[in-house]
């Protein structure tokens, strides 16, 4: 769990502001959920036999003996809130949230126990247009942030019958090749045969390559959905790779799953992930509603921006105001507020210090101008303006003339 210090936080604010603006422009409204939920919400939605629920949740009993969990992700809480407040009463909704998530994972570069996500959920949309729009929207976000080397991978994991049939076929296949299975694969044969498809054991690769493919079990509707999605992405001119091994670690997904991946961050290369979860609303007690969503990890995005040497655009200070004496301080403060009314980014020296020491601060602040206020300026109701980054003499001017000069 990290502190995010001001140097880095500038990049965070750039990501946050850009994302909020983009999501809003695609019609997503902001929703804010609590960071703790009842534990059973996550057990029911993410799935009892997933890594997150089995090993990674921060779960505790409150003083009342109720089991609560720090949210490991946002989809479950978002759907819970939508149902609790009946947000779908007047049709589909597009929502986004941001904030900390908690997973007890082994920390390493790009993987933390408290991390931050932006997530978007579109509820009530059945067709593949919304899947495509979310993916295209992320592509636009990367461009707006200045990222180039992120690869889009997509897959369809079909509906639950297809997955059950595929699983049964896998068990039959591995059973008939028992002699070639390594220890892990043998142990998982009946509990989690899908995991064997991710095996890194070179001796298993040929076996895994020839294993039954989920794609061959997709039903007609799921297949048509996936084909439409691909033609929409093609029409949008977005490059992607169909990765038949992409499955994602939550039980709520069906049909479309996707990830944006980079090779620049070592093992933690997935920047964003998402997909369809048409069964979750009903599973959590609502009327059936199709849905699709995604989340990206802000830490990973910021790391990647640093790799790309992207700098946060920063607003430069226009003026640094220095002053000597009590009446000068009061006049400087008044002037600073009037400058700010006119849109000038002004910083006033706070505290004491000789003119020389204050001038050094003005220089170090990066401001374009210093404004100097002494007794003479107070008496004349003027300000002395000194350019710090461009040639030019110090000038005594009225406040309006100062504003005009800074704006020029």
- Output phi, psi for 95, to 5 deg: -130, 150
Closest distance between ligand HAM and the C-beta of residue 120, in Å? 7
Q: Of how many residues is the chain composed?
A: 408
122, 293 in Cβ contact below 8 A?
yes
| Residue selected from 98, 278, 299, 382 as contacting ligand HAM according to rule CB under 6 A | 299
Shortest Å, Cβ 265 to ligand HAM: 9
93 forms part of the interface with ligand HAM (CB under 6 A)? no
What phi-psi label fits residue 362: left (phi over 0), alpha (psi between -120 and 50 degrees) or beta? alpha
User: Cα 404–407–408 angle (5° rounding)?
Assistant: 85
Residue 293 in the binding site for ligand HAM (CB under 6 A): yes
The verdict on 225 binding ligand HAM (CB under 6 A) reads no
Reference 158, options 147, 150, 166, 169; nearest CA is: 166
Q: Minimum CB separation from ligand HAM for residue 60, in Å?
A: 19
Q: Does 115 bind ligand HAM (CB under 6 A)?
A: yes
* Position 133 contacts ligand HAM (CB under 6 A): no
Q: Name the DSSP class of 147.
A: -
Task: Give 317's DSSP letter.
Answer: P
Q: Does 77 bind ligand HAM (CB under 6 A)?
A: no
394 alpha-carbon distance from chain centroid = 47
Residue at token pair 């001001």: 6
Total residues interacting with ligand HAM, rule: CB under 6 A = 26
CA–CA dist 360, 368 (Å, integer): 13
Residue with Cβ nearer ligand HAM (45 or 358): 45
**57 contacts ligand HAM (rule: CB under 6 A):** no
CB of 167 to ligand HAM, least distance (A): 22
Return the number of the residue (138 or 218) whose C-beta is nearest ligand HAM.
Answer: 138
* Alpha-carbon span 9 to 12, nearest angstrom: 5
19, 69, 117, 156: residue in contact with ligand HAM (rule CB under 6 A): 117
Using CB under 6 A, which of the segments 14-22, 197-205, 293-301, 384-392 binds ligand HAM?
293-301
Residue 378 CB, nearest approach to ligand HAM (Å): 55
Q: Quick one: 33 or 372, whose CB is closer to ligand HAM?
A: 33
Q: For residues 129 and 235, what is the distance between their CA atoms, to the nearest angstrom?
A: 12
Q: Are 169 and 212 in contact (CB under 8 A)?
A: yes
Residue in 19, 45, 69, 75 binding ligand HAM, rule: CB under 6 A? 75
Residue 122, SS3 per DSSP: strand
Q: Which of residues 319-338 bind ligand HAM (CB under 6 A)?
A: none
Report helix, strand or coil for 101: strand
> Least distance in Å: CB of 375 to ligand HAM?
57
Binding of ligand HAM at residue 272 (CB under 6 A)?
yes
Shortest distance, position 125 Cβ to ligand HAM, whole Å? 13
The answer to whether the CB of 4 falls within 8 A of the CB of 14 is no
CB atoms within 10 A of CB 224: 12
Q: How far is the CB of 343 from ligand HAM (least distance, A)?
A: 37
Residue 112 binding ligand HAM, by CB under 6 A:
yes
How far is the C-alpha of 53 from the C-alpha of 42, rounded, in Å? 7
Positions touching ligand HAM (CB under 6 A) are: 73-75, 103, 105, 110-112, 115, 117, 119, 121, 270-275, 277, 293-297, 299-300
């Amino acid at each position: 769990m990290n502190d995010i210090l001001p140097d880095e936080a500038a990049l965070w604010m750039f990501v946050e502001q850009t994302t909020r603006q983009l999501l809003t422009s695609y019609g997503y409204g902001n929703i804010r959920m609590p960071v703790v939920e009842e534990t059973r919400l996550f057990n029911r939605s993410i799935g009892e036999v997933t890594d997150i629920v089995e090993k990674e949740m921060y779960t505790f009993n409150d003083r009342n003996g109720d089991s609560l969990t720090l949210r490991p992700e946002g989809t479950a809480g978002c759907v819970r809130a939508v149902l609790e407040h009946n947000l779908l009463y007047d049709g589909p909704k597009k929502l986004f949230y941001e904030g900390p998530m908690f997973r007890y994972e082994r920390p390493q570069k790009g993987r933390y126990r408290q991390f931050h996500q932006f997530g978007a959920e579109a509820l009530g949309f059945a067709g593949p247009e919304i899947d495509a729009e979310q993916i295209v929207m992320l592509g636009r976000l990367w461009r707006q942030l200045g990222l180039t080397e992120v690869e889009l991978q997509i897959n369809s994991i079909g509906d639950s019958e297809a997955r059950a049939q595929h699983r049964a076929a896998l068990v039959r296949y591995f059973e008939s090749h028992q002699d070639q299975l390594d220890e892990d694969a043998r142990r998982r044969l009946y509990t989690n045969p899908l995991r064997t498809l991710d095996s890194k054991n070179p001796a298993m690769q040929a076996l895994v390559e020839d294993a039954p493919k989920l794609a061959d079990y997709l039903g007609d509707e799921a297949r048509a959905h996936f084909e439409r999605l691909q033609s929409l992405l093609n029409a949008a001119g977005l490059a992607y790779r169909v990765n038949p091994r992409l499955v994602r670690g939550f039980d709520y997904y069906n049909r479309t799953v996707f990830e944006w991946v980079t090779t620049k961050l070592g093992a933690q290369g997935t920047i964003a992930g998402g997909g369809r979860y048409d069964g979750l609303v009903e599973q959590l007690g609502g009327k059936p509603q199709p849905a699709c969503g995604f989340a990206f990890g802000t830490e990973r995005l910021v790391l990647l921006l640093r790799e790309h040497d992207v700098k946060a655009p920063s607003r430069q200070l226009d003026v640094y105001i220095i002053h000597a004496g009590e009446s000068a301080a009061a006049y400087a403060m008044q002037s600073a507020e009037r400058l700010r009314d006119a849109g000038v980014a002004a910083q006033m020296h706070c505290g004491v210090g000789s003119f020389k020491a204050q001038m050094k601060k003005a220089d170090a602040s990066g401001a374009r101008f210093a404004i100097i206020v002494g007794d003479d300026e107070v008496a004349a109701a003027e300000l002395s303006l000194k350019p710090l980054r461009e040639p030019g003499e110090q000038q005594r001017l009225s406040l309006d003339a100062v504003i005009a000069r800074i704006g020029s």
